[in-house]
Amino acid sequence: MAQSLFITVEGIDGCGKSTQAGLIADALETAGRDVLRLREPGGIEISEQIRAILLDPENGEMGDVCELLLYEAARAQLVHQVIEPALAAGRTVVCDRFYDSTTAYQAFADGLDRDMVAQANELAVNGCRPDLTFVFDVPVEEAYRRRSGRGAEDRLELKGGAFQEKVAAGFRAIAAEEPARVKLIDAARSVEEVFADVSAELRAVGA
């Protein structure tokens, strides 16, 4: 049976996560691996229901801790129901966002206590950690251009820019703290150039 492999992709919205996740999954499939492509919340019923609570505009009074725990609840179910069984069966899992997003958004950007967020992450994943994580680093304005195809002068987007900067800095800090697992990729280049760096990291872990 093939050795399981768990890969996650991270970074701010528009950095190229989904694009690179698809290329990674394609390449690993071509290499003969049985690949499960996931994005949180993973399409499972319980997690989708939790997601609906998170996204519901009626829930504007939701506090940061409630938000954190709902993300973790959705993640815990995804790990339990989908990721752990897949890895136990020797499959390869490529997941678009995972607990590093919670660290970047809820701790670094929203300002929740870092240790509390780490404990909540640990509770959710129960020791199930990615073997390899890519953080795609692009300037906030470039991510905005990629998302919208428009210029970056929109007032609300500029206001959101400071938040995105904190998230991006959080992801860079995570990569600096865990260099063995988390690879910081300069994603302000062509899809092909970015994927060349990704491929080199995949080869380095024998994938």
Ligand X SMILES: Nc1ncnc2c1ncn2[C@@H]1O[C@H](COP(=O)(O)OP(=O)(O)O)[C@@H](O)[C@H]1O
Q: Which stretch binds Mg ion (CB under 5 A): 17-25, 57-65, 138-146, 151-159?
A: 17-25
Q: Are 136 and 176 in contact (CB under 8 A)?
A: no
Q: For the chain, how far is it from start to end, CA to CA, in angstroms?
A: 14
Cis before residue 41, ω within 30 degrees of 0? yes
Q: Which stretch binds Mg ion (CB under 5 A): 18-26, 74-82, 103-111, 181-189?
A: 18-26
In whole angstroms, the minimum distance from the beta carbon of 186 to ligand X comes to 10
Binding to ligand X (CB under 6 A) within 147-166 occurs at 147
Q: Are 20 and 136 in contact (CB under 8 A)?
A: yes
Task: Please say which residue, 112 or 187, places its beta carbon nearer to Mg ion.
Answer: 187
Among 116, 191, 204, 205, binds ligand X (CB under 6 A): 191
Alpha-carbon distance of 173 to 93, in angstroms, equals: 24
Classify residue 104 as left (phi > 0), alpha (psi -120 to 50) or beta: alpha
Give the E-state strand segments of the chain in sequence order: 5-10, 35-39, 92-96, 132-137, 182-186
Alpha-carbon distance of 188 to 84, in angstroms, equals: 33
Among 14, 41, 42, 130, binds ligand X (CB under 6 A): 14
Residue 42 binds what, of ligand X, Mg ion, none (CB under 5 to 8 Å, by partner type)? Answer: none
Number of residues located near Mg ion, criterion CB under 5 A? 2
Among 18, 129, 165, 172, binds ligand X (CB under 6 A): 18
Residue 18 interacting with Mg ion (CB under 5 A): yes
Helix (H), strand (E) at residue 73: helix 64-78
Looking at residue 145, its amino acid is R
In whole angstroms, the minimum distance from the beta carbon of 134 to ligand X comes to 11
Residue 15 binds what, of Mg ion, ligand X, none (CB under 5 to 8 Å, by partner type)? Answer: ligand X
Residue 199 interacting with Mg ion (CB under 5 A): no
Binding site for ligand X (CB under 6 A): 11, 13-19, 146-147, 187, 190-191, 194
Binding site for Mg ion (CB under 5 A): 17-18
